[in-house]
Structure 1
Amino acid sequence: MAKSALLVEWVHLNPRENATAHHTDRFEAVHLEPPKTILRRGQPFTFKIRLVGREYDPNSDNIRVVFNFGQTPHTVKGTKGVADVNPNKASFSEEQPEQWEAILKEKDTDSVTVEIQSPIDAPVGIWTMEIETKIKQTAGRTRLFRHPEKMYILFNPWRKGDVVYMSDEHLLDEYVLNDVGKIWVGPHGSARGRHWIFGQFDESVLPACMLMLGRTNVVDANRGNPIRLVRAISKIVNSNDDQGVLMGRWDGKYEDGTSPSAWTGSVPILQEYLRSKKEVCYGQCWVFSGVVTTVCRALGIPSRVVSNLVSAHDANASLTVDKYYNLENEEIDDPTNPMGEDSIWNYHVWNDVWMARPDLPKGYGGWQAIDATPQETSEGFYQCGPASLEAVKAGAVSYNYDVPFVLAEVNADLIRWKEDPASELGYEKIESHKYHIGRVVLTKAPWIFDPNGDKDIQDITEQYKAKEGTEAERLSLMNAVRGTERAKRFYSLPSAASEDVSFDLEDIERVPIGENFKVTVKIENKAKEDRNIQAVLSAGSVFYTGVKAHCVKKASGTFKIRAGSKEELSLSVTPDDYLGKLVEYCIMKVYAIATVTETRQTWAEEDDFQVLKPSIDIQGPKTITVGKPASLTFSFKNPLKMKLQNCKDIQPLETVRLEKTFVPSLSGSIKLVSTFTSKELTDVSGASVFECLDEDDE
């Protein structure tokens, strides 16, 4: 009697065993019942096939494994993988596999163990598997077993040949596997690291990622291309063009949603998005960036959060930020720009992702900037990047994607214009500030976490641009200007006339909430004649995007400064002046402008700083134990001479303490983040790290 094709009873994918080799063992879904299979492309994995009726005969039986991806799987498009089990091959030979392969690892009387290797460029997402069995060299019946479980296949930055490969594996502990980090927020001089729980291994994250990618315009065949995918992620994390994750809002009106400052991590956002299938309210740049990091790390793309302090928003592609003033030295809106008004954000947060760039000349791989905050459209949508940092630094604005916009964010010149009826343009250039934009670009340093300070900060400014003031920095910017038609017109205009009076606005770096501060301008008349000066000093509250909220205090006047002498102008501001006018994040802008009557020399400068709030102090035992209660104490001092409301009543200058007990379920390093909010004080937080031991290790 002729043999019948093998009958498959079940297939066991060994999800937990494979997860260790694939660096996916920290995903919660791997440890559920039943466990999910989460793999990385190009990495071999094994599974066991249980047979019914008879033993596998390698001479006569053929076992074919078929993998399917997307709606209409096709081998030519790379969305269908077909591999016959080879009983004569001991191991895979290709270092950078281009096709699906299967080899026989073990054979028992009622089962076989098969090892599979997927292509290094396989699409990323959910795959299904089928087993086809037949008798070799016959036209007999083929039997089909459809595995009921789905598997995730992710990018593999550990495997050479993957576009996202990172040769320093130690860095992947930070940029793929670290699920808690920092996001630097605040103006230059007072920015602080805000704790953020990325939580990429939470069981809700990968399903949320699949929902997101399903709503992008990336076709199934391109889901393995990280260049296409990260650009789509920058588009789908905001909800401006499609059914994206977060709706942005910056006006302080969050009553119908969650205030951006209340978020401490990505997981609640992605859980809500997965549950409701619609955008979550509300986000701002650092929230968008936190979610992007979670999504990229979950998919296997190395990612870091990037904070640019004093960030340009170049609305008209001129590589400049232009500010206009009337004859009375008051700032006015840009009257010439039909595409929108330039602005300067106190800080702006986006992401760097790591990958090769086979679409660009050699040397432009590595870190690439992407930005999910909806600022300007790119190719008709609110998306940005990936922009090669090497291209940004070199001023290579012709290379995809959005290099000019990112370059302007970190290195545009700030140009000030004043009304001049005698000028052909109606305005004359009064100042060109070359060093104001992109004061410092920050990210979290690898492998370090400082819960109570900023010892984990890393300055990456020189990865974006050469050091300010150097010839290399100017040359790269001029290289960008030559490649941008609109920028040529702005940079070719003449500079201001000779200047013989110097002005210096003193920086204000840190002002604890409830204390006075002073706006001070130092003036020196270097001329041999007296000079008459018209000056304006002001202080106001601003949103971190640079949008003005309230004028806190302003003074103006005209005075004479003697030849060769020095003077000092000052404006004193008290807590009574500013406390009722602070907006979220408590950022203040001080501004000064002065005109010398005799020479028409005009000078202007501004400085941003943050009114600092207290942090929450968390105290507890140095070590805690799995399964045993641990008591923690949370405390902070009210710095204001007023009672805090919409919380447990806290009296003026009172120190409050709260004790809480929790029971840890996993061993290892536990990072704890706490927040406090009231009507008068919001965005107050604290963090601490505890080591949790297994009971046997006590």
Structure 2
Amino acid sequence: MVNLQFSGFAFSKSLDQHYTPFVFPGTDEGHCRLRLVNFEAHENQTSHETQGLSKKHLVVRRGKPFKVTLLFGSRSWSRYTERLVLKVWLGNMSKRIPVQFSDEQSDPQGWSAKIYPGDRQPKSVTVHICSPVLSSVGLYQLQVLIEATQNTTSYAVGTFVLLCNPWLKEDPVYMPLDVQIQEYIKNDYGLVYMGTHLNNSGQPWSFGQYEPGVLEACLQLLQVSPQHRRDKNKDYVLRADPVYLSRVACAMVNCEDDLGVLKGRWQGSYKDGVKPTEWSSSADILHRWVSTNCSPVRYGQCWVFASVLCTVMRVLGIPSRLVTVFDAAHDSDGNMKIAEYYSSTGEKLNLSKDSIWNFHVWVECWMRRPDLGAGFDGWQVVDPTPQEKSAGTYCCGPCPVAAIQQRCLGTPYDFAFIYAAVDAEVLRLIVRNGRVVGKTVDTEWVGRLIYTKSIDSDKPENLTQTYKSKIGKMPPGLEVSLNIDEVPSLGDSIVISVTVTNPSSGPRVLMAHLNAQLKEYNSNPQESFWKTRRKVHIQPGGVLKLHHTILPSEYESVLAGDDIVNVAVVIKDVMTKERVLAAQEISMSAPPITIQIEGGNGVQMKKEHTARVSFINTLTKALSGAVLTIEGSGLLQGKHEARLVLMQPGDKIEKTVSIMATSPGTKLLMATFSHSSSPGIVSRTFHKVSVVTG
């Protein structure tokens, strides 16, 4: 049994599903004695929508009453000779709550404890406890005092966790529709959209808020934050505000300034940790962080940071969702412009500190913003990926999405950085012999597509217009566009189409330089793996289409599944030396892995089911050292592998595993295929498994 330490309290009791007894020894000796306390866990947690969040603590939501039944010894409590008082503690701060009968007046803004008609039995009484709607989130200790004329008896009866309450209209995190709360608070499964704006897919993620120990890990995250370590009382008071909670949690998900959860790495070796693409569950990461005494878990990238933050916020009761911005700008100097440099033959150069990520994942949290005004209520961007410091700390937000759309300069909490990420101008400079010989301004490239998972569906919801209100215009002149005819899978040819329009009144002789480079999603490309050039003629007012093909044999030694390719063309007017550039980025689709669950995708908890996983080599070449790997948090212990020394085209590799779910909710079975002759993993897939209790 895990023994966690929070603010001086040690907890190792297990919370029964129906009731939690606390027995106090001793004789009555004529005094009223408390013998047992029933936390009414099942009824309270059903009423408060907190079922499954913890097996150790009663979990309730602020501003809503919960019941505690007190059972006395041989003599019952008398309201006429003894005062019944509750005391709640958060750290070393306490609040005294006299127990009142329902007809007595109480402070509507404060804590209350009431007994209603029918709540009294000969030797027991049921007390309805209600916290203020703006109570601080945290782990509270509950004390019962029986005060008589001559003496006071005090009983430390246990603990409860208080969370935000999105069901309550007065709470700043209130959401009006139940389908929204079901998706953004209760759903333990989500999708991370990855790839490019042309070719993307939703990769499943298990938020895991119902996995054992996850709620306790989220509370520990608050307890070890720099804010709490500097001033415990101040931190406890400020935890009533979801703006404050989101900033603390955001900073604690990365470990750059504190005892945070994740260490980021974007290149190099991952052998001393886990490669970011291998994670599929927040629970796995949080469990590892707790078990290593708050040592950072290695390694995360943007979608891992965001997914863990989404779990923490949902656990704390703040509605949250993952959002992917395709072609997201990282504006390092704060001028809301991104400079890119290309050679005169179309090769992208690493000369800029700014960058554009093919995709970047952050979190939107839902809350009212009384600090800014009602016009800024609703979704707020919170970005835990450590990129730039905010007030001296690696966190970002919460910044209202409405402020970004309306371009409200000066909005607090990192407006300029977030605005640039979705709407920066891109200045593309063509350089030859150290001199700029061409320039293109693109106002539409950044933030062209912004996705989140739809409510109660695995389809994407397009959020682009909630962030962007302007429509950019391209400057007049020689017009060039570049398109990929179809999104290619590994083994297919990459077919490129370039369209050139000549708006002038005279003919032109043009030189077209094309270039293809492999790139990481969050950085500039590597050296070119394919180049070509071609001289063409275009008539006045004419439109010219050029087609080029990159054969599999020209890229198969460089590319793997899900790799991103930057393709660019520079069109040069031979006479005027005018140069115009167009670029496009695509991700290569991976060959599919098939996963089949015996009896369908709904499985019973603690019952064995068979899963069959297979991969067919659809490539045109033989693959050596083939490995098919299967794993799944909450379904499988460790990794299971199948290996083949050589896979000819058309060959199949297959593995059958026995899965058993240990807790209810949505679990993910993950399979990857790799081989020794490829620079990386060729294919990866996730399979959603719904676990029911019976």
Alpha-carbon offset, residue 627 of structure 1 = 5.7
Partner of 2:113: 102
Say yes or no: does 1:367 pair with 2:345.
Answer: no
| Secondary structure of the corresponding residue to residue 511 of structure 1 | coil
Name 2:590's counterpart in structure 1: 613
For residues 549 and 253 of structure 1, do their structure 2 counterparts lie closer, same or farther at Cα, with a shift above 3 Å needed? farther
Alignment of 1:645 with 2:633, yes or no, is no
> Letter of the aligned partner of 1:686 in structure 2?
F
Find the residue that maps to 2:42 and give its secondary structure: helix
Do the aligned residues in 2 keep the contact of 1:120 with 1:161 (CA within 8 Å)?
yes
* Matched residue SS, 1:555: strand
How far the C-alpha of 1:682 sits from its partner, in A, is 4.5
Report deviation, 1:507: 3.2
Report the equivalent of 1:409.
421
2:609 to 610, 617, 630: 630
d(CA) in 2 for partners of 1:246 and 1:8?
46
1:457 to 455, 460, 467: 460
Candidates 206, 211, 215, aligned match of 2:224: 215
User: Among 153, 156, 181, which residue is 1:146 paired with?
Assistant: 156
1:207–1:646 distance in 2 versus 1, CA, 3 Å: farther
SS at match of 2:557: helix
Note the C-alpha offset of 1:366.
0.5
Deviations 1:203-234 (A, max 9, x none): 22112112211232341211121101111222
Picking from 653, 656, 675, the partner of 1:656 is: 653
Q: Is the 8 A contact 1:4 1:141 kept in 2?
A: no
Give 1:36 deviation, angstroms. Answer: 2.2
Give yes or no for contact 2:614–2:653 (8 Å, CA) kept in 1. yes
Equivalences for residues 44-443 of structure 1 within 5 A: 44-70=65-91, 72-73=92-93, 80-89=94-103, 97-105=108-116, 106-135=119-148, 138=149, 140-147=150-157, 149-218=158-227, 219-276=235-292, 277-325=294-342, 331-334=348-351, 341-418=353-430, 430-443=439-452
252 and 358 in structure 1: CA distance in 2 versus 1, 3 angstrom threshold: same
Greater mean alpha carbon deviation, residues 275-284 or residues 460-469: 460-469
SS at match of 1:348: strand
Change over 3 Å in CA distance of 1:231–1:134 after alignment to 2:
same
* SS of equivalent residue, structure 1 residue 17: helix
C-alpha change, 1:628 and 1:127, in structure 2 (3 Å) is closer
Task: Report the 3-state secondary structure (helix = DSSP H, G, I; strand = E; otherwise coil) of the residue aligned with 2:79.
Answer: coil
State the distance in 1 between where 2:90 and 2:572 align.
67
Change in Cα spacing, 1:508 to 1:351, as seen in structure 2 (3 Å) is farther
In the alignment, which residue of structure 1 is the partner of 2:517?
Answer: 540
CA contact (8 A) 2:344 2:570 kept: no
What amino acid is the match of 2:220? L
Q: Could you say if the C-alpha distance between residues 301 and 54 of structure 1 is closer, same or farther in structure 2, counting changes exceeding 3 Å?
A: same
Helix, strand or coil at the partner of 2:113: strand
Deviation track 1:22-46 (CA, whole Å, cap 9, x = no partner) reads: 100132x33xxxx521111111001
Distance 1:621 1:325, change over 3 A: closer
Moved more, 384-393 or 110-119: 110-119
- Separation of aligned partners in 2, 1:152 and 1:101: 17
In structure 1, distance between residues paired with 2:413 and 2:502: 48
Is the Cα–Cα contact under 8 Å of residues 189 and 666 in structure 2 kept in the other structure?
Answer: no
Distance 1:377 1:583, change over 3 A: farther
CA-CA distance at 1:158 after TM superposition: 0.7
Letter in 1 for 2:337: T
Tell me how far apart the structure 1 counterparts of residues 661 and 400 of structure 2 sit (CA, whole Å). 42
Q: Which amino acid aligns with 1:146?
A: A
Report if the CA contact (8 A) 1:519-1:571 is conserved.
yes
In structure 1, what is the Cα distance between the partners aligned to 2:134 and 2:691?
39
- Unpaired runs of 5+ residues, structure 1, are 74-79, 336-340, 450-455, 475-494
Q: Does structure 2 retain, via aligned residues, the 8 Å contact 1:615–1:686?
A: no
Cα pair 2:322 2:452 within 8 Å, conserved = yes
Deviates more, 1:109-118 or 1:46-55: 46-55
- Work out whether residues 310 and 436 of structure 1, in 8 Å CA contact, stay in contact via their aligned partners in 2: yes
User: Matched residues in 2 for 1:240 and 1:510: separation?
Assistant: 38
Are 1:49 and 1:111, in contact at CA under 8 Å, matched by a contact in 2? yes
Q: What secondary structure sits across from 2:271 in the alignment?
A: coil
Letter in structure 2 aligned against 1:216: S
Tell me how far 1:532 sits from its aligned partner: 3.8
Contact 1:519 1:537 in 2 (8 A): no
Structure 1 residue 327, shift from structure 2 partner: 6.7
1:673 corresponding residue in structure 2? 669
Contact 2:63 2:130 in 1 (8 A): yes
Partner of 1:554, secondary structure, is strand
Question: Once the two structures are aligned, what percentage of the paired residues are identical?
Answer: 29
State the alpha-carbon separation in 2 of the partners of residues 83 and 526 from structure 1.
80
CA offsets per residue over residues 224-282 of structure 1, 9 Å max, x none? 21101111222111112222111111115211111111111111111100101211111
After TM superposition, the structure 1 = structure 2 runs for residues 480-629 of structure 1, keeping only pairs within 5 Å, are 499=477, 501-556=478-533, 561-582=538-559, 585-619=562-596, 620-622=598-600, 628-629=607-608
Aligned to 1:453: none
SS at match of 1:224: coil
Whole-angstrom distance in 2 between the partners of 1:377 and 1:165: 30
SS at match of 2:199: coil
How many residues matched? 632
Contact 2:485 2:497 in 1 (8 A): no
Q: Secondary structure at the match of 1:351?
A: strand
* Partner residue in 2 for 1:20: 46
Going from structure 1 to structure 2, the CA distance change for 1:646 and 1:69 (only over 3 Å counts) comes to farther
Q: Shift of residue 626 of structure 1?
A: 5.6
How many angstroms does 1:56 deviate by?
1.1
Query: What is the TM-score with the length of structure 2 in the denominator?
Result: 0.85
Question: For the residues of structure 1 that align with 2:575 and 2:647, how far apart are their CA atoms?
Answer: 55
Matched AA of 2:289: Y
Q: How far off is 1:584 after superposition?
A: 7.6
Q: Post-superposition shift, 1:296?
A: 0.8
Kept after mapping to 1: 8 A contact 2:438/2:579: no
Q: 1:124 to 1:9 in 2, by over 3 A?
A: same
Cα distance in 1 between the residues matched to 2:529 and 2:432: 29
Cα offset for 1:637?
1.8
Aligned residue for 1:684, secondary structure, equals strand
Q: Is the 8 A contact 1:182 1:444 kept in 2?
A: yes
CA shift, 1:528, in A, is: 3.4
Q: Could you tell me whether the CA contact under 8 Å between 2:71 and 2:125 is conserved in 1?
A: yes
Q: Does 1:685 align with 2:681?
A: no
Q: 8 Å contact 2:593–2:683 — kept in the other structure? A: no
State how far apart, in whole Å, the 1-side matches of 2:274 and 2:381 are: 28
Tell me, in whole angstroms, the C-alpha distance in 1 between the residues paired with 2:47 and 2:674: 47
Match of 1:9 in 2: 35
C-alpha spacing 1:525/1:675, structure 2 compared with 1 (3 Å): same
Query: Could you tell me how far apart the structure 2 residues matched to 1:326 and 1:291 are?
Result: 40
Q: CA deviation at 1:559?
A: 5.5
Q: Identify the range of structure 1 (591-600 vs 304-313) with the bigger mean alpha-carbon deviation.
A: 591-600
* Whole-angstrom CA distance in 1 between matches of 2:526 and 2:351: 19
Work out the CA distance in 2 between the residues paired with 1:599 and 1:44: 78
Query: Quick one: distance in 2 between partners of 1:393 and 1:307?
Result: 16
Checking the alignment, whether the CA contact within 8 Å between 1:431 and 1:602 is kept in structure 2 is no
Match of 1:447 among 456, 461, 465: 456
1:572 counterpart SS class: strand
Equivalents in 2 of 1:144, 1:629: separation in Å? Answer: 49
One-letter identity of the residue aligned with 2:423? N
Q: Give the Cα–Cα distance (whole angstroms) in 2 for the partners of residues 573 and 688 of structure 1.
A: 36
